Amino acid sequence: MYSSCMRTNVSSTRPVTSTQEDYIRAMYILELEEKGASVTQVAKRLKLSKSTVSERIKELVRDGLVVAKPYSDIALSKKGLALGEKLTFKHRLIEVFLYQTLKTPKDNIHKEAELLEHAISDDMAKRLAKFLNYPTKDPHGSPIPNIKKPINY
């Protein structure tokens, strides 16, 4: 599977894994939709146990992607927010491509985009956005972030 090989560099010492990217994107979506995220909400969204999520959140805090206080909500750091936005940009752009260009049924595109968002490079995402004429919404009606700004992380 491609996603296990594709990683985003957070620092020169520790790349972000595709699993960590899933956590970041889940938190990004929760912060947009719910105006905050908790370990419980992330666990529910990713269909994982709270203890599993808690352990992964500790790693993300250590890597400077998440800010957490005991007995409080968790939040993305500035770096985490930028990565969440980039992943959501890629994910939603891929959904548009799968739906419009490949005529993939709408109920299948999310699952496919979940896999492909980790594998597509920033440059290819920019090219795909241009190819699709810079869409502003995905097929589900959700806005595509960062559409004309360069992807900076």
Tokens representing 144 are 């595509």
Q: How far is CA 54 from the centre of its chain?
A: 18
7 neighbors 17 (Cβ within 8 angstroms): yes
Long-range CB contact pairs, 105-108, < 8 A, 24+: 106/139, 106/140
In tens, the pLDDT along 84-143 reads 999 999 999 999 999 999 999 999 999 999 999 999 999 999 999 999 999 999 999 999
Q: How do the domains of the chain map onto residue ranges?
A: 16-76, 86-131
Q: Has residue 2 got a pLDDT over 50? A: no
Instruction: Give the 3-state secondary structure of residue 16.
Output: strand
pTM: 0.84
Predicted confidence band at 4 (pLDDT cuts at 50, 70, 90)? very low
- Whole-number average pLDDT of the chain: 87
| CATH architecture classification, 86-131 | Orthogonal Bundle (1.10)
Fold entry, domain 16-76: Arc Repressor Mutant, subunit A (1.10.10)
Buried b (16+ CB within 10 A) or exposed e, 129-147: beeeeebeebbeeeebbbe
Q: Alpha-carbon distance 107 to 100, whole Å?
A: 13
13 pLDDT band, cuts 50/70/90, is low
